[in-house]
Every structure is written in structure tokens, then in C-alpha cells.
């Protein structure tokens, strides 16, 4: 289960005010639940079954098995929406079975790319170039580099067997696959990069990496039922979206995703991309950022408690422990000043820190809380869907198109000119 609560924000947004706002904008929720016609080419993710039905899951698991039979290392070449969900899920779940997944195609740093190549030595490798447009510089350049690496290492024929591409049907990437004999996986046609968590774009690398993708998808289906089924006063994703917009209208300009599980580190990158590219446009939107507590209580925490009042916080909390979530601190004869921790579980110490932080921050800023029962595949699937839906509703309440990202084009024109694209 996933629960959203506003108890620690009531001094800033009263329950009555939130109810009024939700009633007044209920038509926005209804349109998002139905799927707005004007965005039909971007709403494929709204129905989990559309791109993660039984046939897709079977096909994906079979391909993942084939890959794992010949490789212990899988390189995902992709950036932004073609990278973040896989990295988020692998970091959060740390599956014990499966191949090692290495990330490339998300950097232009020679140092980092040299490090990636060095990390492949002594391993059996398969690469997957994930590129919706196959024009993006980072994955395009890394794909060429790693293709050449594979050919040098395995010879052209075996290298071709070790190359997968996830691209748009009819794109130059599909042509390349046909010409060179690479395996081609279709990129969901009506889903933009950052909304692809529950499509083959990510299901394949996750299955290769040992994630139970059926459980992930089941969780997403559960979230879909709630997000698309619940009415305006019960719908938690809508309540969250409404809170964000009330706070935006009140002058807040930044949302901090706070969490006390470092396993959410890469999930927070996924969250940042989702909201930044979906809402940050037309001079509007909340700047999404993250705080990895308790570590950052000793850095960002000062600003959050005591600095400029421009942000509110959304805490992502895991209610119950899972495997590996318990570690009891033993007693000692040494007078180290920490005797009050004798026999206490780190799980409870961490929880005490979370509750104290939220209570202290709530004195000066609105604190929202999103709680999941456990950190496992099912709940992560719920989070992926829930945030995607909430972000869509939030963007529509804000009055922007959540599915484009025109702001990322400006630097590209200058960069491509500097690199001579089109001239040679
Ligand atoms: O969400 C998006 O659409 C973007 O962040 C893309 O995922 C990102 O730019 C990568 O695009 P592509 O897969 O075409 O290389």
C-alpha cells in the first residue's frame, strides 16, 4: 500500500482549503484519468497493460534469459528517461541474482567512459542502446564507442549477437539493427522517455539485472486502479498534485524529496527528471530537488530549517522493515557516551531521526509524506505509476503541457553547431 498524508502541512494548507481546491478542479482530475485527447500521443503509459501486458512480460523475460546466458554484464546506453528508472530500481532493490548493469550513454566525460570500458574487462558483455530519437549526443557517441569495443573484442559476428537496441519503430536505429543484425526492441511509441518506467525500455534491463518485473508491474497496476478509479476526495495522487499547486500559488518555488533510505538516491534522480521536464516551462513550475537524510541533515538541513523560505518537503518513507533492514547495536563496557543506544535497532534509530526531522521542519515549512509499506518490487512499481500520474495532474493544474521539454533544445543547437553536426 501507498499512503499520502498532509498532517505535517496543515499549518500551511488547511484540510478545508485542500477540499475546496480539489472540488474546484475536479474536472482536471477527470480529464487526466480519462486521458486528454490532445496528449494522446504521450499517454501510452496511462494503461499499464498497454505496454506491460502478459505478452510483453513473457517476451522480455525470455530475452533477458537469453542475455544472461551469455553475459554477466549488461551495459545500458541511455540518458534521461532512457536511463533513470532502471538505475532507480536497481539501486533501490539491489537484487542478488541477475547480471551486473553498467550505465553508459549518460555522459560525455572521457574519464567516466574510460572507467566504464575498464570495468568490462574480464566480463562477458551485452550492450543495449536505448534511444527514442537516436539523435541524442550522449547515447549516440557511447553506442559507437562500445560497438567498436565489442567488435574489437569479439569480432563483428559475435558482437552483433551481443548488441540490443531499444528504439522507435521506423527510426534510423531500427534500420541500423536490420542492416547489422542487432536485436531490436520497440520503444513504446506513445510514451515519452521519462514516462517509460513500465515499458520494455526499462523492463528489459531490470529483468536482466534480476528484478522481478512481474511484481513491479503488478504494483503499478494497483496504483493505476487507485489513480484512475478514485474520485477527487479520495484520490491521493490528486491530493498531492493539489497541494503542490496550492503551495506554488502561495509562492513556494522548490520541492525537496526527503528520504532516510540511501536506496532512494537514484529514485530521487528519476523524480527530479520527471517533474523538472514535465512542469518546468513557460516560466512556471516547482524546482524539484532531493535531500538524502540523515547525512544531509548535516548540510542541507541547516538551510531547510533556517534559510530562505522557498521550499516545501515531501518525505518518502518506508513504513516496515524488509530483509536486511535490521541491525541491533550491541552494548559495550567502553564509556563512549552512546549507552542510550544499547540494544537499539538502527531501523528504529533511523525512524526516530526521520520523525524528529519532520516535526522540526514542519514548524517552518509544509511537510508532505508519502509512505509505502515496504521497499520491494511491488511498491516501487506503485511509486513509478503514482508519481507519473500525480505529475501529469499537477502539470495540468499548473496549466502546462507535461509531455514536452522545449527548454532542452536551446543548448543543443549551440552544441551541435560547435561540434560541426551537419557539416561532416
Ligand atoms: O523524458 C524525455 O523525453 C527525455 O528526458 C529523454 O528520455 C532523453 O532526452 C533521452 O532521449 P532519447 O531516448 O531520445 O535519447
Q: What is the pLDDT along the chain (424 residues), one digit of tens a residue?
A: 899 999 999 999 999 999 999 999 999 999 999 999 999 999 999 999 999 999 999 999 999 999 999 999 999 999 999 999 999 999 999 999 999 999 999 999 999 999 999 999 999 999 999 999 999 999 999 999 999 999 999 999 999 999 999 999 999 999 999 999 999 999 999 999 999 999 999 999 999 999 999 999 999 999 999 999 999 999 999 999 999 999 999 999 999 999 999 999 999 999 999 999 999 999 999 999 999 999 999 999 999 999 999 999 999 999 999 999 999 999 999 999 999 999 999 999 999 999 999 999 999 999 999 999 999 999 999 999 999 999 999 999 999 999 999 999 899 999 999 999 987 7
Peptide bond into 292 cis (omega under 30): no
The question of whether 351 is a catalytic residue gets the answer no
CB 208 within 8 A of CB 99: yes
The per-residue b/e assignment along 234-245, b for 16 or more CB within 10 angstroms, e otherwise, is ebbbbbbbbbbb
- pLDDT value of residue 224: 98
How far apart, in whole angstroms, are the C-alpha atoms of residue 83 and residue 128?
A: 11
Ligand 1 centroid from CA 194, angstroms: 7
d(CA 230, CA 383) in angstroms, rounded, equals 17
Residue whose entry in the numeric block shows the C-alpha cell 546506453: 77
SS3 27: helix
Of 152, 158, 249, 412, which one is the catalytic site residue?
412
User: What are the angstrom distances between the C-alpha of 24 and each of 5, 20, 83?
Assistant: 20, 6, 37
Whole-number pLDDT of residue 35: 98
User: What predicted TM-score, i.e. pTM, was given to this entire model?
Assistant: 0.98
pLDDT of residue 203: 98
pLDDT for residue 422 = 84
Residue 80 confidence (pLDDT): 98
Residues with CB under 6 A from ligand 1: 79-82, 131-133, 136, 139, 192-194, 277, 405
- Measured in Å, residue 71 CA sits from the centre of ligand 1 at 27
Examine the residue annotation and report whether 421 is marked as an active-site residue of this protein: no
∠ CA 376-381-386 to the nearest 5 degrees? 125
Long-range contacts of the stretch 182-187 (C-beta < 8 A, 24+): 183/63, 185/63, 185/128, 187/130, 187/131, 187/132
pLDDT (0 to 100) of residue 47: 98
The two counts, helices (H) then strands (E), for the chain are 17, 10
Contact assessment for residue 245 and residue 397, using Cβ atoms and an 8 Å cutoff: yes
Cα 268 to ligand 1 centroid, rounded to whole Å: 17
Cell numbers found for residue 287? 524546482
Bridge partners of residue 259, in order along the sequence: 292, 316
Q: Which residue has the cell 518490487?
A: 377
Catalytic residue among 255, 277, 292, 377: 277
Buried b (16+ CB within 10 A) or exposed e, 119-128: ebeeebbbbb
132 catalytic per annotation: no
Amino acid at each position: 500500500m501507498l499512503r499520502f498524508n498532509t498532517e505535517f502541512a496543515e499549518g500551511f494548507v488547511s484540510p478545508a482549503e485542500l477540499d475546496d481546491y480539489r472540488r474546484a478542479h475536479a474536472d482536471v482530475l477527470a480529464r487526466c484519468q480519462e486521458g486528454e485527447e490532445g496528449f494522446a500521443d504521450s499517454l501510452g503509459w496511462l494503461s499499464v497493460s498497454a505496454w506491460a501486458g502478459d505478452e510483453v512480460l513473457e517476451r522480455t523475460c525470455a530475452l533477458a534469459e537469453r542475455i544472461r546466458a551469455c553475459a554477466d554484464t549488461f551495459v545500458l546506453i541511455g540518458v534521461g528517461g532512457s536511463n533513470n528508472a532502471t538505475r532507480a530500481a536497481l539501486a533501490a532493490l539491489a537484487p542478488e541474482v541477475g547480471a551486473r548493469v553498467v550505465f553508459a550513454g549518460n555522459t560525455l566525460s572521457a574519464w567516466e567512459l574510460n572507467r566504464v570500458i575498464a570495468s568490462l574487462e574480464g566480463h562477458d558483455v551485452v550492450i543495449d542502446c536505448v534511444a527514442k530519437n537516436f539523435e541524442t549526443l550522449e547515447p549516440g557517441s557511447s553506442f559507437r564507442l562500445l560497438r567498436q569495443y565489442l567488435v574489437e573484442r569479439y569480432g563483428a559476428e559475435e558482437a552483433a549477437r551481443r548488441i540490443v537496441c531499444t528504439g522507435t519503430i521506423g527510426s534510423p536505429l531500427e534500420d541500423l539493427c536490420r542492416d547489422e543484425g542487432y536485436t531490436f526492441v520497440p520503444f513504446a511509441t506513445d510514451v515519452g522517455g521519462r514516462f517509460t518506467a513500465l515499458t520494455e525500455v526499462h523492463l528489459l534491463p531490470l529483468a536482466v539485472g534480476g528484478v522481478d518485473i512481474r511484481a513491479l508491474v503488478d504494483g503499478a497496476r494497483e496504483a493505476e486502479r487507485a489513480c484512475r478509479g478514485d474520485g477527487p476526495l479520495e484520490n491521493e495522487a490528486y491530493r498531492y498534485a493539489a497541494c503542490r499547486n496550492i503551495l506554488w500559488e502561495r509562492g513556494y518555488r522548490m520541492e525537496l524529496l526527503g528520504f532516510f533510505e540511501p536506496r532512494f538516491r537514484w529514485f530521487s534522480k528519476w523524480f527530479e527528471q520527471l517533474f523538472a521536464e514535465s512542469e518546468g516551462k513557460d516560466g512556471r513550475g516547482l524546482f524539484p530537488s532531493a535531500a538524502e537524510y540523515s547525512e544531509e541533515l548535516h548540510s542541507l538541513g541547516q538551510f531547510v530549517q533556517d534559510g530562505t523560505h522557498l521550499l516545501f518537503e515531501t518525505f518518502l518513507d518506508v513504513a516496515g522493515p524488509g530483509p536486511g533492514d535490521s541491525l541491533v547495536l550491541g552494548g559495550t563496557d567502553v564509556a563512549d557516551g552512546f549507552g542510550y543506544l544499547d540494544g537499539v535497532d538502527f531501523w528504529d534509530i533511523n525512524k526516530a531521526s526521520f520523525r524528529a526531522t519532520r516535526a522540526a521542519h514542519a514548524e517552518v515549512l509544509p511537510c508532505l509524506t508519502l509512505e509505502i509499506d515496504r521497499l520491494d518490487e511491488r511498491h516501487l512499481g506503485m511509486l513509478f505509476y503514482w508519481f507519473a500520474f500525480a505529475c501529469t495532474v499537477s502539470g495540468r493544474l499548473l496549466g502546462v503541457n507535461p509531455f514536452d521539454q522545449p527548454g532542452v533544445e536551446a543548448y543543443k543547437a549551440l552544441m551541435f553547431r560547435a561540434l560541426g553536426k551537419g557539416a561532416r
